[in-house]
Amino acid sequence: MYEDDDATGTGGEDTPDKTVPLAALEAERGKRQELATRLAEYEAAEATRAAEAAAAEAAAAAKRGEFETLHAAEKARADAATEKLTALQARETTRLEALKAKNDTAIEALPEDFRALIPAGLDLDATAAQIERVAMLANTSETLPAGTRRGGGGKPAIPEACKAEALRLGRDPKIHFETVWNASFRRKARGET
C-alpha cells in the first residue's frame, strides 16, 4: 500500500489503513467530472435562455415602438376627426337655431286659419318645408276666388279675342263676355247651337 520514505527510518513498514482504494478515487473523480460537465451544460443553457429572453424583450420593445408609432398616427387622425365633428356640430346647431327663428317668424306671418296646417312635432327642416307649402296656399287663396282649381271658384278670365270683339262693337268687355261669349260656351257644352 503506502510506503513511508521519510528520514526516521521506518520505511517499509505497513501503516494502519489510511489509504483510499484507487477505484473509489477514480469513481469519485468521474462523478465530479460528470457534475462539472452537467454544471457547464446548465450554465450554457441558462446563458442561451437569457440571450433568447433578451432578444425577445428587444423584439417586443421594437414592436411596442411600432405600435406606439401606429397609435400616435391613429390618435392624430382621430383628434382631427373629432375637431371636424365638433366644428360641424357647432355649425349645425347655429343653422338649426337660425332656422327655428325663421320658422317662428314665418308661422307668425301666416293668417290665423293657416297656422293649424303646421303640425307640431316635425323637425325644423320639415317644418320649414310645410310652412312654404302653407304660405303658398295662403298667398294663392287670397288672390284667387273660391271654387277655382287653384284656390277658388271665381269667374274665368276674359279672353283677349272677346275683349277685342267687345271694343270693336263698342261694348263693355265684361258684359260682352257674360252675354255673348260665356253663353255661347254654355250652349255648346249642352249640345245646343
pLDDT digits (tens, 9 = 90+) for 12-26: 555 556 677 888 888
Structural domain contains residue 6:
no
pLDDT of 156 strictly over 80: no
What percentage of the chain reaches a pLDDT higher than 90?
27
Among 16-20, 51-55, 68-72, the least confident range: 16-20
Residues 134 and 187 in one domain: no
pLDDT of 176 strictly over 70: yes
Size of the chain in residues: 193
- With CA atoms as reference, report the closest residue to 136 among 154, 109, 157, 155: 109
Residues 147 and 183 in one domain: no
Structural domain contains residue 128:
yes
Q: Which of 100-104, 145-149, 187-191 has the highest mean pLDDT?
A: 100-104
Residues 86 and 41 in one domain: yes
Residues 27 and 81 in one domain: yes
The model carries a pTM of 0.40
Residues 39 and 65 in one domain: yes
Residues 147 and 159 in one domain: no
Counts of helices then strands in the chain (DSSP H, E): 6, 0
Residues 166 and 192 in one domain: yes
Please compute the mean of the pLDDT values over residues 140-166 and round it to a whole number.
Answer: 66
pLDDT of 192 strictly over 70: no
Residues 77 and 115 in one domain: no
What's residue 40's pLDDT?
A: 92
Q: What domain range includes position 160?
A: 155-193
Structural domain contains residue 127:
yes
What percentage of the chain reaches a pLDDT higher than 70?
76
Residues 69 and 31 in one domain: yes
pLDDT of 75 strictly over 70: yes
pLDDT of 2 strictly over 70: no
- With CA atoms as reference, report the closest residue to 141 among 154, 128, 152: 152
Which sign, positive or negative, has the C-alpha torsion 124, 130, 135, 136? positive
- The model's pLDDT over 97-145, given as tens digits with 9 standing for 90+, comes to 999 999 899 888 888 888 888 888 889 899 898 888 888 887 765 555 5
Cell 357647432 belongs to 90
What's residue 98's pLDDT?
A: 94
pLDDT of 8 strictly over 60: no
Structural domain contains residue 167:
yes
What's residue 149's pLDDT?
A: 53
Total domain count for the chain?
3
What's residue 1's pLDDT?
A: 44
pLDDT grade for 82, boundaries at 50, 70 and 90? very high
Cell of 125: 327642416
